[in-house]
Structure 1
Amino acid sequence: MNSLHARYPFFEAARDAVRDADVDLSELIAAEDPAVERAHERVRRSLLEGTARSETPDAWTETQELLSYPIARILVSLLNSAPAIEKYAQAEAKTAIDRLQTDIEADDDELRSTSTVRLDRKRLLRELGLSAVIVPEPTTGPREPAWFRIDVGPYLELSSSTWREKWKLVNRELVDGQVRVERHELQKLLQKAVTNQVQAGLPFEGLENNPISDALEAELADLNRLLSQRSTVGAIDFVARELFPPCIENLLQKAENETQLIPVESFTLMAFLTGIGMDADEIVAFCDASSLDPEGIRYQIEYLKDDRGTQYPPPSCETLNTYGICHNEDEHWKQAGDPLTYYKKQVEQRRDDVTDWRETRS
């Protein structure tokens, strides 16, 4: 068992390491091993913030980090929610691709100063069964290839019709059955491949009457509370900043002061803007004079939205309060328990007195 297994727990070698360790997960869970707490955090942050990273990475051993992954898969299976499984898998994949990029960019001095085992793209392609269908274009020197070619079949399987126009096959360079993609585009395709791998086999069956579900009762109660907070306020489709709830306005001002938002702050802001009916291009323009990165915005919007609309709107005011984001200014909790409901009520009361921001752009 090594650091690579802990950082990329969906690898076959990582699964083998868990099996070789001869660990009984049910006993581990019953004993409230620290890996259970990390698994709970893993799922919670995946659903709330779009990342599986720990807020306190130094608090966990490599073994605890690795074992938290199969326990997290049990937890998310017990949630009995297809959207939750999808969002969890996406967060695990995003975390893995971010780590891959860090590994690739690490220089020799950094590698010598740490015991972390480095992952390269070739190893990831092998793990995903893509070595034969994705090849780099030749480059000179040690530089990372700027372009890659991927067989058209896997390209169509990994790309999505909901992605931007440039991803459509008619807009791509296609030669000898291969699609040419830039390095950052390849990362997006690999992220989808990892998502598929993490999601494969979920949910586990036969857990409902298993003692494991009883042992995870507290963790499941917390996660189900998060899921139950999903808003059903209906379509708003009106953008008036002066009506935004105080917590959202505070986050906007913080970003406009060039302060980097922590993940839960960014997630909350993007979930709110998506929830009131803004699309990715509008949000990028709306947040233009801020510390928010356009590509980061687009990723979060894609994470938050699908054909059915917003899956995970902003958390409740109570949850935001635990993160220090909502402070119940003007006792607005008496009006609404979440940002979208608050905003909808404001729009219903004052819509005739304000102008939709989108009208000022035309």
Structure 2
Amino acid sequence: MDAYHARYPFLDAARDAVANADVDLSSLVRTDNAVVERGRERVIRALTEGTVESERRVSSRTELLSYPVARMLVSVLETPGAVEKYAAIEAATAHTRISEEVTTRTDRRTDRSFSLETVLAELGLDDDVQQLDRRNRRETAAYRISVDRYLQFVPEEDGWSLVQRELADGSVSVSQSELLELLRKAIEARVLDGLPFDVPPEIAEPLRPAVREIRTQLVGVEHPDAIDRFEPDAFPDCIATLLRRAGEEPLDQVERFTLITFLSGVGQSPETIPEICGIDDEQFLYASQRLAGQAIPFSPPSFDTMRAHGVCEGDHPDYDHPLEAYVAALPAVSEDTE
């Protein structure tokens, strides 16, 4: 079990590493608190913060084994939309890691074991993707991908229609960033495969305390289902500060997740969110589509989670969640505008 397996636990090589280690999952969930805790953190951060990255240093073994534990936890959780959100965030985290690897010079890569060709082969895409020679090395690397695979993983967003693509000999021309986006969808499908599943009682029972903790954390992200007014003057101070900063400086991952999901929660679409924030950065546009463009949108984090990450420094004794505070402030905003 090495760093490569830990960073990409959904790949066959990682599964083989677990199998070769002869790990008994029933014994693991009873005796290895570090692995169960990391699995719990993995699920909570995926569902509330838009990442599965840990906030602390963990061993490659713990990181790798936390993945099957997380899959068991999200299966036992039985919360609507949790499986889909978890898979989307596992894929998004992997997409970020792969993007960093392929855009970093070989001698400075985070993981020297990594190669895009290996990931494509592990996902069964090596025969469907071909890198094209580039005459101008300053240009983005170009690839061709088979039409069948392209259609299988194409995002449901503008700009991906086949009529807008160069099509020849049964394959579609894509840029490197587009290939990585298709790869994200392929990884999401890999993570989703088999989820949820029936967890044997001898494994599910020791996981019950972790499941209860996850459900307790998710209570903080419950918010009013219908918000039909958009009033920036009713935003909590921490959200208003994020919105102001978004147009002036880059936001970190948690800040970006918080702002996008809050704006989605108050009824804004993936198209209007970047306009409201005054941002046309490609990464922010992509995040808006991923977080706000789903049938089951992501919930903003609670005030407690925001405070834990330094996103919110104020006290909100009457409310657990920023959308609750927003709804409560709407009547006062209405009176001020009359």
Query: Secondary structure in 2 aligned to 1:135?
Result: strand
Give the Cα–Cα distance (whole angstroms) in 2 for the partners of residues 169 and 352 of structure 1. 51
Give the CA deviation at 1:156.
Answer: 1.2
Query: Does structure 1 residue 215 correspond to structure 2 residue 198?
Result: no
2:251 aligns with one of 253, 261, 269: 261
2:94 aligns with one of 93, 96, 102: 96
2:321 aligns with one of 331, 334, 338: 338
Give the Cα–Cα distance (whole angstroms) in 2 for the partners of residues 108 and 22 of structure 1. 33
Query: Does structure 1 residue 274 correspond to structure 2 residue 264?
Result: yes
Give the CA deviation at 1:174.
Answer: 1.8
State the match for 2:25 in structure 1. Answer: 25
2:117 aligns with one of 122, 134, 137: 122
Give the Cα–Cα distance (whole angstroms) in 2 for the partners of residues 49 and 110 of structure 1. 28
Give the CA deviation at 1:140.
Answer: 4.4
Give the Cα–Cα distance (whole angstroms) in 2 for the partners of residues 186 and 215 of structure 1. 41
Q: Which amino acid aligns with 2:262?
A: F
The aligned runs of 1:145-224 (5 Å cut-off) are 146-160=141-155, 162-164=156-158, 166-207=159-200, 210-224=201-215
Give the CA deviation at 1:191.
Answer: 0.2
Q: Which amino acid aligns with 1:261?
A: L
Give the CA deviation at 1:230.
Answer: 4.1
Query: Secondary structure in 2 aligned to 1:101?
Result: helix
The aligned runs of 1:229-248 (5 Å cut-off) are 229-248=220-239
Query: Does structure 1 residue 300 correspond to structure 2 residue 300?
Result: no
State the match for 1:358 in structure 2. Answer: none
State the match for 2:53 in structure 1. Answer: 53
Give the CA deviation at 1:141.
Answer: 8.5
Does the CA-based 8 Å contact 2:224-2:324 persist in structure 1?
Answer: yes
Give the CA deviation at 1:265.
Answer: 2.3
Give the Cα–Cα distance (whole angstroms) in 2 for the partners of residues 227 and 148 of structure 1. 41
Q: Which amino acid aligns with 1:197?
A: R
Gap regions ≥5 residues in structure 1:
356-362
Q: Which amino acid aligns with 2:133?
A: P
Give the CA deviation at 1:195.
Answer: 0.5
Give the direction of change, closer, same or farther, for the CA distance of 1:172–1:297 in structure 2 (3 Å limit): same
Give the direction of change, closer, same or farther, for the CA distance of 1:217–1:91 in structure 2 (3 Å limit): same
Give the CA deviation at 1:36.
Answer: 1.7
Query: Secondary structure in 1 aligned to 2:173?
Result: strand
Query: Secondary structure in 2 aligned to 1:167?
Result: coil
Give the Cα–Cα distance (whole angstroms) in 2 for the partners of residues 351 and 174 of structure 1. 54
Does the CA-based 8 Å contact 2:233-2:333 persist in structure 1?
Answer: no
Query: Secondary structure in 1 aligned to 2:214?
Result: helix
Does the CA-based 8 Å contact 2:87-2:192 persist in structure 1?
Answer: yes
State percent identity of aligned pairs.
39
Give the Cα–Cα distance (whole angstroms) in 1 for the partners of residues 136 and 285 of structure 2. 33
Query: Does structure 1 residue 320 correspond to structure 2 residue 306?
Result: yes
Gap regions ≥5 residues in structure 2:
none
User: Alpha-carbon deviations, 1:281-332, whole Å to 9, x = none?
Assistant: 32112212xxx6633333333333356453x322233443343434454xx4
Give the Cα–Cα distance (whole angstroms) in 2 for the partners of residues 294 and 242 of structure 1. 25
TM-score, reference length from structure 2: 0.89
Does the CA-based 8 Å contact 2:75-2:83 persist in structure 1?
Answer: yes
1:85 aligns with one of 83, 86, 104: 83
Give the CA deviation at 1:131.
Answer: 1.3
Query: Does structure 1 residue 35 correspond to structure 2 residue 35?
Result: yes
Give the CA deviation at 1:170.
Answer: 2.2
Give the Cα–Cα distance (whole angstroms) in 2 for the partners of residues 261 and 95 of structure 1. 17
Give the direction of change, closer, same or farther, for the CA distance of 1:267–1:6 in structure 2 (3 Å limit): same
Query: Secondary structure in 2 aligned to 1:148?
Result: strand
Does the CA-based 8 Å contact 1:251-1:265 persist in structure 2?
Answer: yes
User: Alpha-carbon deviations, 1:166-209, whole Å to 9, x = none?
Assistant: 112222222222221111111110000000001101112144xx
User: Alpha-carbon deviations, 1:204-231, whole Å to 9, x = none?
Assistant: 2144xx1323322332122112333444
Give the CA deviation at 1:338.
Answer: 1.7
Does the CA-based 8 Å contact 1:103-1:118 persist in structure 2?
Answer: no
Does the CA-based 8 Å contact 1:149-1:180 persist in structure 2?
Answer: yes
Does the CA-based 8 Å contact 2:46-2:90 persist in structure 1?
Answer: yes
State the match for 1:135 in structure 2. Answer: 130
Give the Cα–Cα distance (whole angstroms) in 1 for the partners of residues 317 and 237 of structure 2. 11
Does the CA-based 8 Å contact 1:237-1:278 persist in structure 2?
Answer: no
Does the CA-based 8 Å contact 2:43-2:74 persist in structure 1?
Answer: yes
Give the Cα–Cα distance (whole angstroms) in 2 for the partners of residues 348 and 39 of structure 1. 42
Give the Cα–Cα distance (whole angstroms) in 1 for the partners of residues 293 and 221 of structure 2. 15
Give the direction of change, closer, same or farther, for the CA distance of 1:230–1:308 in structure 2 (3 Å limit): farther
State the match for 1:250 in structure 2. Answer: 241
Give the direction of change, closer, same or farther, for the CA distance of 1:222–1:266 in structure 2 (3 Å limit): farther
Moved over 4 A (4+): 140-145, 352-355
Query: Secondary structure in 2 aligned to 1:280?
Result: coil
Give the CA deviation at 1:272.
Answer: 0.7
Q: Which amino acid aligns with 2:193?
A: A
Give the direction of change, closer, same or farther, for the CA distance of 1:313–1:206 in structure 2 (3 Å limit): closer
